[in-house]
Amino acid sequence: MSLLNRYIHEVGRFLPRKNREDIKAELRSSVVDTLEDRFGTEPSESEVEGVLQEFGSPRDVAASYHPRSQYLVGPGLYPLFRMVAWIVIAAVLGAQLLAFFVAVFIAGEPFSVLETLSALLNSVPSSLGWVLITFMVLQYFDAKPYLEEEPWDPKTLPVLNPEADLKKGELVLGLVGGILILVLVTLFPQWIGFLSTPGGGFYPNPVILEYVVLIQISLLATIMLNIYLLWKGSWDFLTRIIKLALDGFGVVILAFLIKGHNAWLAARGASTFNAWISAIENNNWELVGMNAFRLAFVIAFIVTVIEIFSTIFRMVRSKMANDVSARDFVLKVD
């Protein structure tokens, strides 16, 4: 019966720890029952082989005892896993490229194809590994990615409203861009600045460094909102309110940054447009760069304010569209 012992041992290797010995004992007793019934108390080796074949391979037998299907990431979590995995791949590749450009074109490090490739080969699988580990834990605890209430109510289906549709491309682009900037301000804050000429002198921006934490918070919150929106598939009242709040927060940070640049430039007597022109003429790159940053922040400030108004406008229009579709429905029913 050494074959039977080997079989039971092998099945045991794949069984869940809980009840393992009990299942092994029952399996042994069942195989012996079958053998005795068919071949008496002393079956031959080939007869044992035949019965074990019938029971099935140790892995298959053990798998049938697992309480839940053996998924690393089950069908319920898979769509979310796939989305997060793609975003992570895009962000990691983007961050690598960014780091590469900073290293080669700003810090002036020598270019190495091999190093760049090996960095990519390391970072992509390891970040995907972390995503997988996170989802494996979620799967283990049977986490549900949906916030739907039980029992499901058809009335909770999202209203068909083109105004609420997301522009996915824009969202993904914004998401990847947000992650890249977050990586930049978190890992390489000393490299936020400007170059006098390609490969020339580098000037870090002291004002941005002062507000790094606020910028990180704002970016992180926006990234989380974008991920949620991608998952949810459409805007709703709450997400628009959060977007408004985040844009408002962004405007405050931009105002601080503009004020900071103003003060920095005023201290050097260079806050006016004319002073900027003369700085260019005099090749005073530090003043030119800080002025350029201030201009960029002013533009970002204006764009964000317009964005806030457009969000409010969309909220109003979305509300009106809802009212109209409800009225149409009532008319048709009548």
Partner 1 sequence: MMMNNAQSEQYLKLTQELRRGILVLAALSQLKEEKYGYALINSLAEKGLDIEQGTLYPLLRRLESQGLLKSEWNTEGSRPRRYYVISSEGLSILEELTAEWREITNVMEELLAGIASEGDLK
Q: Which helix (H) or strand (E) holds 270?
A: none
CA distance 82 to 63: 26
Residues touching partner 1, count (CB under 8 A): 19
Tokens 């494996």, residue? 136
Instruction: Decide: is 30 part of the binding site for partner 1 (CB under 8 A).
Output: yes
**Residue closer to partner 1 (CB basis): 25 or 280:** 25
Helix (H, G, I), strand (E, B), or coil: what is residue 243?
helix
**Residue closer to partner 1 (CB basis): 11 or 207:** 11
Q: Out of 1, 4, 32, 124, name the contact with partner 1 by CB under 8 A.
A: 32
DSSP 40-89: -SS--HHHHHHHHHHH--HHHHHHTT-SS---SS-TTTHHHHHHHHHHHH
Instruction: Decide: is 34 part of the binding site for partner 1 (CB under 8 A).
Output: yes
- For the bound state, the minimum distance from the C-beta of residue 44 to partner 1, rounded and expressed in Å, comes to 20
Q: Out of 13, 21, 25, 129, name the contact with partner 1 by CB under 8 A.
A: 25
Q: Which helix (H) or strand (E) holds 171?
A: helix 168-187
- Binding part of the chain for partner 1, among 25-33, 232-240, 245-253, 292-300 by CB under 8 A, reads 25-33
- Pair of tokens at residue 316: 């109003």
- For the bound state, the minimum distance from the C-beta of residue 47 to partner 1, rounded and expressed in Å, comes to 15
Q: Out of 7, 8, 23, 193, name the contact with partner 1 by CB under 8 A.
A: 23
- For the bound state, the minimum distance from the C-beta of residue 37 to partner 1, rounded and expressed in Å, comes to 7
**Residue closer to partner 1 (CB basis): 19 or 122:** 19
**Residue closer to partner 1 (CB basis): 30 or 134:** 30
CA distance 235 to 315: 9
**Residue closer to partner 1 (CB basis): 65 or 100:** 65
CA distance 7 to 28: 9
55-94 residues in contact with partner 1 (CB under 8 A) are 55-56, 60-61, 64-65, 67
CA distance 35 to 91: 60
In contact, 88 and 131? CB cutoff 8 Å = yes
Instruction: Decide: is 21 part of the binding site for partner 1 (CB under 8 A).
Output: no
- For the bound state, the minimum distance from the C-beta of residue 79 to partner 1, rounded and expressed in Å, comes to 26
Count the neighbouring beta carbons within 10 Å of the beta carbon of residue 186: 13
Q: Which helix (H) or strand (E) holds 204?
A: strand 202-204
Which residues are near partner 1 by CB under 8 A? 19, 23, 25-27, 29-30, 32-34, 37, 54-56, 60-61, 64-65, 67
